[in-house]
Amino acid sequence: MSEFEESGIGEECGVFGCVAAGEWPTQLEVAQVLTLGLVALQHRGQESAGIVTSNGVNPPTYNTLKGMGLVNNAFPPEDLLKLRYGNLGIGHTRYSTTGISELQNCQPFVVDTLHGKIAVAHNGELVNAAALRKKVMRHGVGLSTSSDSELITQLLALTPPMEELDAPDWVARIKNLMHETPTSYSLLVMYTDVIYAIRDPYGNRPLSIGRLVPISKLHTAGAGEGDTEGWVVSSESCSFQSIGAKYYREVMPGEIVQISKHGVKSLSIVPRPEGDLPAFCIFEYVYFARPDSIFEGQMVYTVRQRCGRQLAIEAPTEADVVSTVPESATPAALGYAEQSGLPYVEVLCKNRYVGRTFIQPNTRLRQLGVAKKFGALTDNFAGKRVVLVDDSIVRGNTIAPIIKLLKEAGATEVHIRVASPPIRFPCYMGINIPTKEELIANRPEFKDIAGYIGASSVQYLSVEGLVSAVQGGIPSLQKDERISTNTKASRRVGHCTACLTGKYPVELEW
């Protein structure tokens, strides 16, 4: 349990799509693949979930299933049967940052256009949503929800100036949208028999493509293109293993990819303004992503280990053991222990059956909730100096009672080491961060944070240390022959650190 979790900091959502390969109607259970894919993305949003499937004919029949809560609660088995004839589909799991928590804000959104229905699923938050909302309304289009995603759907439905009346140009429409809003979005757009996978020019939110293969060939090198049973696209590659898919590649920043039963085709690249670097959210590595996901050619778990090693270099201390607050910071703690030459031990036992029921807005009850979640493994640390590695200190309310618990159980010293820099600024690109005033790094207590939370010492990883740990393992793109030269040229390494530095990748509009 991290300070991120206790403070309500969360990713906005996850998107997932599937297209059956070969002859249609397919034998592939597309709705089941979508459901399992969304379950694997559940950490990205627990508020609501939705699926839209299509038979892929012209005009297509769309079937929609939406519900509040976790995926398994939102999709009863009897309702999933209604989607069983789909040949392709997209799904979404939501954690609201814009828009209130209601079923009407649940995605994917389906709208009628001049050329038929489209379905849209979106991860991110538009930095110029207010201006775009006015523009859509000036076209006489009413908006029924407070969600950015409906806004995107309506913008896609608007006909570009040069489009022929009887021939929809979806690439032109998508490019038009991308020129209207620079970030932040990863999108799935389903139209008739294809899914378009789109990432904003800054690549702020992740999006990966996988290839469904026979289970017998999942862990072998012998699965060729002819063995492809379908294509999937997901916010994170961690969802691929659970559905029998092999990682194929990432959608690049600014790229528009068409996924059909015939395969994957890169259609276009929308460039960033000259001189601008990509701005992939660095906190996907720090906390939001599942540790087995792959971004930029490297596994998140390995990056977190490097952060821990860098933290040990920057903030060593005299101690006897290294541990962590279970369990998102475990890779960083292992890296810290390895670099410092200290043994890693567990000092806390988590009660896995205490849910978020105990997380209350009242500070006293929040502290009480922490006490209910952990027991001290006293034999591992009594009479010893402990380095406790965590991935964040957001408000300080979570870590303080844990330190108190360890000291009362016999730790002689508790040194806090944080595997990310202090969060000082709000995010306007899809992450729900408390107000600037609530962040402990902006409060007077931060000057003596060790005294405030009862620690022997507190030190954070530097911004430079975090960036070097993240970028140190990114392999050369030139080795991936599946990505065109044009796409490679559009990709340089860059990460958004706005919540740490206040330097946003684009100018914010209000």
SS3 category, 226: helix
Q: What does the mean pLDDT of the chain come to?
A: 88
Q: What local confidence, expressed as pLDDT, does residue 488 receive?
A: 47
CA pair distance 90, 19, nearest whole angstrom: 9
Cα 67 from Cα 163, distance rounded (Å): 36
pLDDT band at 216 (very low <50, low <70, confident <90, very high): confident
- What is the SS3 assignment for 401? helix
Confidence (pLDDT) at 499: 94
> Among the listed ranges 18-32, 185-199, 386-400, which one has the minimum average pLDDT value?
386-400
Virtual torsion, Cα 356, 362, 367, 370, nearest 10 deg: 0
pLDDT (0 to 100) of residue 398: 83
Judge: domain 304-466, CATH 3.40.50.2020.
Answer: yes
pLDDT for 496 equals 97
Q: Which of 299, 273, 268, 262 is nearest to 284 (CA)?
A: 299
pLDDT of residue 341: 98
User: Is pLDDT of 233 > 90?
Assistant: yes
Q: What per-residue confidence (pLDDT) applies to 369?
A: 59
Q: Give pLDDT, residue 366.
A: 53
Per-residue pLDDT tens for 48-102?
A: 999 999 999 989 999 999 999 999 999 999 999 989 899 999 999 987 544 556 7
Q: In this predicted structure, which of 146-155, 202-211, 280-289, 430-439 has the lowest mean pLDDT?
A: 430-439
Judged on CB neighbours under 10 Å (0-12, 13-18, 19+), 438 is middle
390 is in an annotated binding site: yes
Q: Is 227 annotated as a binding residue?
A: no
Q: What is the pLDDT of residue 361?
A: 42
Q: Positive or negative, the Cα torsion across 23, 24, 27, 30?
A: positive
391 is in an annotated binding site: yes
Cβ atoms of 477 and 262 within 8 Å: the answer is no
499 is known to lie in a ligand binding site: yes
Q: Which of 10-14, 212-216, 266-270, 432-436 has the lowest mean pLDDT?
A: 10-14
Is the confidence at residue 232, as pLDDT, over 90? Answer: yes
pLDDT score, position 414: 98
Min mean pLDDT across 41-50, 149-158, 253-262, 335-344 is at: 149-158
What is the structure's pLDDT at 478?
37
Per domain, the residue ranges of the chain are 14-276, 304-466
Region 381-391: mean pLDDT is 97
Provide the pLDDT for residue 12.
65
Comparing 136-150, 188-202, 245-259, the range with the smallest average pLDDT is 136-150
The string of pLDDT tens digits covering residues 153-184 is: 888 887 666 666 667 789 999 999 999 999 99
Summarize the confidence of residues 37-58 as an average pLDDT. Answer: 95
| Cβ atoms of 312 and 339 closer than 8 Å | yes
Measured between alpha carbons, how far is 232 from 193 in angstroms, rounded to an integer?
Answer: 14
Comparing 14 with 114, the larger pLDDT belongs to 14
In the chain, pLDDT over 70 holds for what percent of residues? 87
Whether 13 is catalytic: yes
Cβ–Cβ < 8 Å for 332, 306: no
pTM of full prediction above 0.85: yes
Q: Which two tokens stand for residue 414?
A: 């508790």
Can you tell me which residue has the tokens 């009628």? 112
**Which residues are CB-neighbours of 208 under 8 A, at least 6 positions away?**
233, 234, 235, 236, 237, 240, 247, 248, 249, 250, 251, 293, 294
Q: Following DSSP, what letter does each residue of 242-277 receive, concatenated?
A: TTTEEEEEEPPTTEEEEEETTEEEEEEE-PPSTTPP
Cβ-contact 73, 84 below 8 angstroms = no
When pLDDT is cut at 50, 70 and 90, the band that residue 121 belongs to is very high
CATH code of the domain made up of 14-276? 3.60.20.10
Give 255 or 371, the one with higher predicted confidence. 255
475: phi then psi, degrees, rounded to nearest 5: -75, 165
Helix/strand/coil for 374: strand
| pLDDT attached to residue 327 | 84
Q: Is the pLDDT of residue 303 over 90?
A: yes
Higher pLDDT, 12 or 357: 12
Q: Tell me the backbone φ, ψ of residue 8, rounded to 5 degrees.
A: 80, 10
Does 422 score more than 90 pLDDT?
yes
- What is the average pLDDT across 445-461? 97
> What pLDDT shows up at residue 446?
95
